[in-house]
Amino acid sequence: MTDIKLIEVKEDILSDNDAAAEKLRAVLKKEKTFMVNLMASPGAGKTSLLLQTLPALKQDLRMAVIEADIDSMVDAEKIAATGIESIQLRTGGFCHLDVSMVKKGLAALDLAALDLIFIENVGNLVCPAEFDTGATIDIMILSVPEGDDKPLKYPLMFSKCRALIVNKTDYLSLSDFNMDLMEERVRKLNPEIEIFKVSCKTGEGIDGWTLWLKKKVTDYLGA
C-alpha cells in the first residue's frame, strides 16, 4: 500500500492570517483608527446594537461601519440611514471574515478621517472566533434567547473577546436564562472580560457600554 501524506493546511492559513492581522493593526495604530470586530450568532442583535451605539458616539467620534454578510445589503442600508458611512462586504458563502476581506472594506474608507470603525462580522460563533481580523479589539454579543450554556459550547469565542454584551435583557422574565451562571461560566474562560447587560429594544444598559467604549477609543487615540 502506498503511504498517504497528510498535510495540515489550516495551521498555515491561520498563521498567514495572524501575521497579516498584526501588520494591519500597526497600520491602524499609525493612522490612529480604532477598529472593533463585533461577533455574534445570527439574530443576537449586532445591527441593533450598532443602531443604538452610533448615535451615542456620533458627536464625539468620526465613525464608519463595515458590514459582512453572505448575501444582501439590508444591514448596511440600515446603518447608512443613520448618516454613518457604511461598506457592505458580501462574502459569497464564507462564514467569517479574514484580514484580506477586511482590507478590501478598509480600502473604500479614508482611515485618516476616522476615529472608530466597526466590523459587523458574519453571524456565527465558530469560524469568526478563529480568524484574526486585525481589529484593535474583539467584542461579542450573546442574546438571552440563545441560553446561558453558550460559553460551554463555544469557549473560544468567549475566551478571545475583550467584552461581552448580553442583549435582549427584556426577555429575562420570559426565559430560564440564568445570568449569574452564565457570568460564572464566562469568567472561568476569561476572568478579565467586561460584561454589559443591555436591551437594544428599551435602551437599558446602553449608556454603560457606550461610555466604556468611548474611553477605550479616546485612550487609544491619545496614546
**What is the model's pTM?**
0.92
Average pLDDT, integer, range 200-220: 97
**Residue 15's pLDDT band (boundaries 50, 70, 90)?**
confident
- Is 7's pLDDT higher than 80? no
| 34 has a pLDDT exceeding 50 | yes
The percent helix, strand, coil of the chain (3-state, each to 5) is 45, 20, 35
Provide the pairing of β-strand 85-90 with 63-69: parallel
Q: Where are the beta strands (DSSP E) in 41-184?
A: 63-69, 85-90, 116-120, 137-143, 163-167
End-to-end CA distance of the chain: 62
Cβ within 8 Å of residue 83, ≥6 positions away? 58
Cell digits of residue 201: 429594544
Q: What percent of the chain is predicted at pLDDT more than 90?
A: 77
Quick one: cell of 141?
454579543
pLDDT of the residue at 12? 59
Residue listed under C-alpha cell 462564514: 95
In sequence order, the β-bridge partners of residue 114 are none
- Tens-place pLDDT, residues 70-103: 667 788 899 999 999 999 888 766 677 889 989 9
The residue-averaged pLDDT of 25-48 equals: 96
Domains defined along the chain, listed by start: 18-217 (3.40.50.300)
Confirm if 184 and 216 have CB atoms less than 8 A apart: no
